[in-house]
Amino acid sequence: MKNRKWMLCLPLALMLFLTFTPMAYADLYWESVVVSGGMPEGLPKDLPKQVRDQMIEQFKAKTETTKNYLTSYASRTETGDMIIIVEFDTMTMYQIDHKAKTYTKINIMSEIGQMAEGMMKDMKVTATNETKEIAGYKCKKYNVTVMDMKSEHWLSKDVKGYKEFKAINEKIFKKNPKLRQMNMGGMSGKEGFPVKTVSNVMGMKTTTTLKKIEKKSLSKNLFKVPGGYKLKELKMPLN
């Protein structure tokens, strides 16, 4: 079931990674409120009741707080029991399971990158004239569609840390030009910091809203896999 959840969440996680690749010359920390819910579409009609009940429990509506730790060399995102660390120099992504004391390791460019390039070919970004205040910031709305995923992004240049957000993206794209092609139509860093994102993936809706953000010094230990954790194989590609 955990593997199923990871496979369903990977496209959204990738979109969020490409949107939230912030870090710059000052460390950043922010929290966002994530409201999610809905059942995956296209499930077999003859799915066993026990399996269906498990999925209903797994995907029931819930509200969580996501914690983001950002530096010029790495990022860490915590949502519930899922922790994702991304090293920018090596373009390596780690997913950590504290309960099982295991982790997976993925090369973003060679593995996820190939899948993302295919996804981004059908991507469409539409800037709107719609603006409104969210979490105290004046935001502008952008609509994004890619494959079967639809999302709306509310971005603001008034967010503290926006300059760091923009600078680190340019640094990463200079080193990895392919990421610029996959970068949500060039949204990340140029138009503003993502204050609110509403995504629809396979019948599941996720709304992420910025709660607070601050500049603070972050320990390098936050961006390392804890000692003693076992590497778990994650077969690619994920279908």
Model pLDDT, residue 41:
62
| pLDDT tens column, 170-201 | 776 676 665 555 454 445 556 789 999 998 87
Model pLDDT, residue 19:
47
Residue 102 is encoded by which pair of tokens? 């295991």
pLDDT, average across residues 193-220: 89
Distance CA 24, CA 215 (A): 11
Residue 47 is encoded by which pair of tokens? 């799915």
Distance CA 201, CA 150 (A): 7
pTM of this prediction? 0.74
Domains and CATH numbers, the chain: 2-231 (2.50.20.10)
**Residue 26 — φ and ψ, nearest 5°?**
-125, 145
DSSP per position, 80-105: TTEEEEEETTTTEEEEEETTTTEEEE
Q: How far is CA 193 from CA 12, 40, 238, in A?
A: 18, 29, 30
| pLDDT tens column, 117-134 | 555 566 778 889 999 999
Model pLDDT, residue 58:
64
% residues pLDDT > 70 (the chain):
65
| pLDDT tens column, 23-59 | 345 788 999 999 988 766 666 666 676 766 666 666 6
